[in-house]
Amino acid sequence: MQIDILTLFPNMFEGPFSESIIKRGQEKGIVKIDMHNIRDYSTSKQKSVDEYAFGGGAGMVMQIEPIDLCIQKLKEQRTYDEIIYLSPDGELFDQKMANHLSTKKNLLFLCGHYKGVDERVREHLITKEISIGDYVLTGGELATAVIVDAIVRLIPGVLNDETSALSDSFQDNLISPPVYTRPADYKGWKVPEILLSGHQAKIEEWKNEQSVERTKQRRPNLLK
């Protein structure tokens, strides 16, 4: 998979993308992630990318030209399955969407800033808008990092145990059951006996019951 990210602050991705699972995916050559600084496509001497909004109002707006120039250059190199803009009013990101996007070959993410982007970017250049929640961040970088992490870990070969992702919370609209490890008894806090029984069929039945019960208690909306 090829992931291209258009951003004003490429250094914000150094930490999240240079550690753990995403680092492993890149080292294996399963995913390639490239950052593109939108300022590099500004045609002004000051390399500015924002302007005041027509009609007034507080805050600056990201201009369409540098964004368009960058996207068009990248589209000369590859065809994108989706060109995604991170926005608070986009479609809410969930595990189903992560599964869907993980099957794509080329994805492009646009990270907004200030009061957002010129609306013509959304009307003519973007194919999908995503939100990670009903709140506002300083920019789209952190939201993009969250989505890329959720997607990359699902790509076959990235995780050492590919079945691990299949048992994650939300994969089947259920929250994952509780998990335990050694020691079996710590300060009198004991692991449920069923997990020590070695009876795999009964263990799986217990796990499913726990998942359903947890979902009822904590996220009943998922069962609808």
- The model carries a pTM of 0.86
Q: What is the mean pLDDT of the chain?
A: 93
- Domain containing residue 171: 167-223
Q: Which amino acid is located at 186 in the chain?
A: Y
Place of tokens 């589209």: 75
Within a domain: residue 137? yes
Structural domain contains residue 103: yes
pLDDT band at 171 (very low <50, low <70, confident <90, very high): low
Tell me: do 140 and 192 sit in the same domain. Answer: no
Q: What percent of the chain lies above the pLDDT cut of 70? A: 95
At CB < 8 A and 24+ separation, what contacts does 13-18 make? 13/141, 13/144, 13/145, 16/145, 16/148, 16/149, 17/145, 17/148
Residue 142 has pLDDT above 80, yes or no: yes
pLDDT in tens, 57-95: 888 999 999 999 999 999 999 999 999 999 989 999 999
- Is the residue at 139 inside a domain? yes
Task: Let me know if residue 113 belongs to a domain.
Answer: yes
- Residue 129 belongs to a domain with what CATH number? 3.40.1280.10
Tell me: do 190 and 145 sit in the same domain: no
pLDDT of residue 178: 92
**Are 74 and 174 within one domain?**
no
Residues 147 and 189 reside in one and the same domain: no
pLDDT score for 57: 85
Examine residue 183 and say whether the peptide bond preceding it is cis (omega within 30 degrees of 0).
yes
122 and 178, same domain (yes or no)? no
Contact 69, 39 (CB under 8 A): no
* Shared-domain flag, residues 13 and 71: yes
pLDDT of residue 64: 95
Q: Give domain status of residue 161, yes or no.
A: no
From residue 188, alpha-carbon distances to 155, 180, 181 in Å are 40, 14, 14
Residues 15 and 75 in one domain: yes
Q: How far apart are CA 214 and CA 175, in angstroms?
A: 6
**What percent of the chain is modeled with pLDDT above 90?**
83
| CATH number, domain containing residue 203 | 1.10.1270.20
Q: Is residue 17 part of a domain?
A: yes
Structural domains counted in the chain: 2
Of 152, 177, 205, the domain-final residue: 152
pLDDT at 157: 93
Helix (H) or strand (E) holding 186: strand 185-186
Asked whether residue 185 is assigned to any structural domain, the reply reads yes
